[in-house]
Structure 1
Amino acid sequence: MPGLVTAYRLPPVTLRHVHFPFDPRPSLSPRSLFPCRGAALLTCLLSLLLAGCDQAKQAQTPGAPATTAATPKPPASAPTAPTAPPPVPVKTTLPQTRQVLDWDEYTGRAEAMESVEIRARVSGYLEQVGFVDGAKIKKGDLLFVIDQRGYLTELKHAEAELQRTRSKLELAENDLKRAERLRQSKAISDEEYDSRSKGLAESTATLHSAETAVEMARLNLDFTQVRSPIDGRIGRELITVGNLVNADQTLLTTIVSTDPMYVYVDADERSILKYRRLTAGGLRGQNGKANIVAQLGLIDETGYPHTGYIDYVDPRMDAATGTLRVRAVFPNPKELLSPGLFARIRIHGGSPHPALLIPGRALVTDQDQNYVWVAKADGSLDYRKIKVGKLFGSFRTVEQGLNKNDAVVVDGIAKLRPGAKVKPEPITVPFDG
């Protein structure tokens, strides 16, 4: 019986599915022990076989069908050769040959042609302000009024003094006439006659003094009304009504002219010599036309849309900077230029000459060097180093490294790499310089 106990502790097996050719319930006599031991051994072998099959199934990937060792493996596929990438579509243009003018570019500062600080010529308390801050005014417009009462009184006093002086002069003239008649009859001495003659001269001088005093009083009265001396745009009022204004001291406001405007630049010695050779006959020709043209562009503008001319070159050089001051005149009808405003300015510095130009967007900058992509007839690319010159609108002049038959890539540059093939599409870029 110990054998049977040991056999039934192996991995569980359902015995009802196993057919035994003998009665599973034999008697326990010594003779019947041998058949039972054989059954136990058979049961052990079947249990081990079933356990091994279960472990083999558990070792397989869940959900994957079991494969036998006899299943043949598919043959490995042969490696395929890599395919070449398709050509990159790009747009190209040919360099343009045009007659251009050389320009020297500077940064200039605008200044008004006329600038006035408004101060009163008489003292007094401010009574009235006759303008709006920042308004455009004309010459003669009333700006300020100073208390006039004291100056009116002075004028009346001067006029009264003038009237009294005239009466004295009339009396002196009559005395002299009587003295002349008496002198003819020897009724007065020569000394008396000379005294009356001097009295007439003194009265005449007093009259002139009184007339001057009246004129001065009238001027002071007029000066209580402060008027604009120029056309232009006025600043803000720097003193308000009720404050004391001191003659020739208190700053009331400022006025600047707006059209035209000056623009000053500092040019180097080489450029100044070039300008002087161009203007050997003066800054203006015989027909009155400017010999040196200047163009100007503001910070928010593209190119140089404003045209003016050079009207002055400083005769002395600044020893500290090695530059000379040059002045240009620009019309300013829309008042875009204001005193103190910075602007880009370029000055004509030569005669027209042919030049090769390409759009600026075709340039590739690499470590301070300029390059362009040139598309060849077979679809290959040439990364060409070039030397560029001045800017004309959105175009750059090419001084070296390119010829007029090279197809320069202008669009699709970001997708290009050395060795790439391209599919060029020729286009024409309009010149805007």
Structure 2
Amino acid sequence: MTVAKPVARRLTDWDEYTGRLTARDKVEIRARVSGYITKVHFKEGAEVKAGDPLFTIDPRPYEAAAQRAEAVLAQAKTEADLAQVEAQNATKLRAGQVISSEESERRLKSAAGELAAVRAAEANVTAAKLELEFTEIRSPISGRVSDARVTEGNLVTGGAGIATLLTNVVAIDPIYLEFEADERNVLKYRVMHKTGERKSALFGTIAAEMSLINEDGWPHVGEIDFVDNQINPATGTIRARGVFPNADRLMSPGFFAKVRIPGSGEYDGLLIRDSAVGDDQGSSYVWVIDAEDKASYRPVKLGPLVDGLRVVREGLKADERVVILGLMSVRNSAKVKPTLAEMTPSAPSAPAANSTPDKKP
């Protein structure tokens, strides 16, 4: 019969959830002015940087409109200068009583009107130049661009509500994971924050680990940076979001993923092999060998797996010897001949996965 002492370790319980990856930023690229597409500048599906050109709309009509607006502005400035000179002369002539007060007032008002016309013309020039600038469509964010929904030679329409969709750009590094936590666990986290056992994501970031459906363990390390402000009464859950680095660009929005977050603060725990645990009508137990080498039946309360060992929450002490092989031959209070071994299993040929909780919240 083989016995071993439990492994004492500082532990943290983890709660596991499922969710979907989403883009940190997503922008629909739409035409802001109408015209014919003369150039598509990007390779479909490629990465672009903020400010990179994506489409060019034929700028010639807008160049002509800008030149026309500048000409109107020049004319308005000339007329305003003339009106200003006449107003200054009117002031002098009125002082010498050469012209009537009505004529002097008319010239002053005319000068003010011409200055207002200059400001209106300047605004028209600004608007015309802005529309000319809109013919060069650039990416507002860095990310991966989709395909071109409109190709060269096609007419697009600008304006609110009717603007033609040209493509979209999504930011992919870092990437978000959105998931929902159930109400019971949410209350648990808030109580732990109140007692100082664990931080709440309501007041700061907390650690998170994530894996995709084709990955073992938890290879992606990030943090929870957002929790919504209300529970969804229809589902009894609250929306939360994790952020994870995506430097290799292998993760894309829409992927299914698992995420785990600390479900407790750190505590001193005991770990034993699963082979040491017996089942008695739904209750777990172990056999403990005392100082006289007699076997004792011991009910235990178990937790998740950590590095291949089972967490024992209650019922066991760190210096006790637990039967790990030969459980079927043990009888309560019977004397045995134990052989002491290590509780940690022999290293497998393949690398073991990280902590793998088997309990889902």
- TM-score of the superposed pair, with normalisation by structure 2: 0.78
Shift of 1:267: 1.1
Shift of 1:355: 2.8
Determine the C-alpha separation between the residues in 2 that align with 1:91 and 1:152.
89
1:152 corresponds to which of 59, 63, 73: 63
Shift of 1:277: 3.4
**Amino acid in the other structure paired with 1:206:** A
Asked whether the 8 Å contact 2:145–2:168 carries over to 1, the reply is yes
RMSD value, Cα: 3.7
2:232 is aligned to 318
2:175 corresponds to which of 261, 265, 274: 261
| CA distance 1:367–1:203, shift in 2 (3 Å) | farther
Shift of 1:408: 2.7
Determine the C-alpha separation between the residues in 2 that align with 1:368 and 1:303.
32
Determine the C-alpha separation between the residues in 1 that align with 2:191 and 2:314.
28
More helix per residue: 1
2:21 is aligned to 110
For these two proteins, the number of residue pairs brought into alignment is: 328
CA distances 1:257-303 after superposition (whole Å, capped 9, x unpaired): 12222222211222112222344597589xx9x56322112222222
1:194 aligns with 2:105: yes
Structure 1 stretches of at least 4 aligned residues deviating more than 3 Å after TM superposition:
90-95, 277-285, 362-374, 384-388, 393-396, 398-404, 416-419, 424-428, 430-433
- Point out the structure with max Rg over C-alpha: 1
More strand per residue: 2
2:30 is aligned to 119
| CA distance 1:177–1:136, shift in 2 (3 Å) | same
Shift of 1:93: 7.0
Asked whether the 8 Å contact 2:276–2:323 carries over to 1, the reply is no
CA distances 1:63-113 after superposition (whole Å, capped 9, x unpaired): xxxxxxxxxxxxxxxxxxxxxxxxxxx999765332210111111222222
Asked whether the 8 Å contact 2:19–2:257 carries over to 1, the reply is yes
Percent identical pairs in the alignment equals: 41
Asked whether the 8 Å contact 2:34–2:155 carries over to 1, the reply is yes
Asked whether the 8 Å contact 1:94–1:408 carries over to 2, the reply is no
Determine the C-alpha separation between the residues in 2 that align with 1:190 and 1:217.
41
**Amino acid in the other structure paired with 1:153:** A
Determine the C-alpha separation between the residues in 1 that align with 2:65 and 2:200.
54
Determine the C-alpha separation between the residues in 2 that align with 1:197 and 1:138.
54
Secondary structure of the residue aligned to 1:406 is: strand
| CA distance 1:391–1:109, shift in 2 (3 Å) | farther
**Amino acid in the other structure paired with 1:187:** V
1:204-219 to structure 2, matched below 5 A, reads 204-219=115-130
Shift of 1:389: 2.2
Determine the C-alpha separation between the residues in 1 that align with 2:150 and 2:299.
64
1:271 is aligned to 185
2:270 corresponds to which of 322, 333, 356: 356
Shift of 1:304: 1.5
Asked whether the 8 Å contact 1:143–1:228 carries over to 2, the reply is yes
For structure 2, list consecutive stretches of 5 or more residues without a partner in the other structure.
Answer: 290-297, 330-338, 356-361
Determine the C-alpha separation between the residues in 1 that align with 2:63 and 2:281.
76
- TM-score of the superposed pair, with normalisation by structure 1: 0.66
2:255 corresponds to which of 338, 341, 347: 341
Secondary structure of the residue aligned to 1:229 is: coil
1:302 aligns with 2:213: no
Asked whether the 8 Å contact 2:2–2:323 carries over to 1, the reply is no
Determine the C-alpha separation between the residues in 2 that align with 1:417 and 1:406.
10
Determine the C-alpha separation between the residues in 1 that align with 2:3 and 2:153.
73
2:334 is aligned to none
2:292 is aligned to none
Determine the C-alpha separation between the residues in 1 that align with 2:129 and 2:280.
76
2:92 corresponds to which of 181, 185, 201: 181
| CA distance 1:283–1:257, shift in 2 (3 Å) | farther
Using CA pairs under 8 Å that are at least 6 residues apart, name the structure with larger relative contact order, 1 or 2.
Answer: 2
| CA distance 1:304–1:172, shift in 2 (3 Å) | same
Shift of 1:332: 2.3
CA distances 1:400-428 after superposition (whole Å, capped 9, x unpaired): 7888633435xxxxxx9977xxxx99564
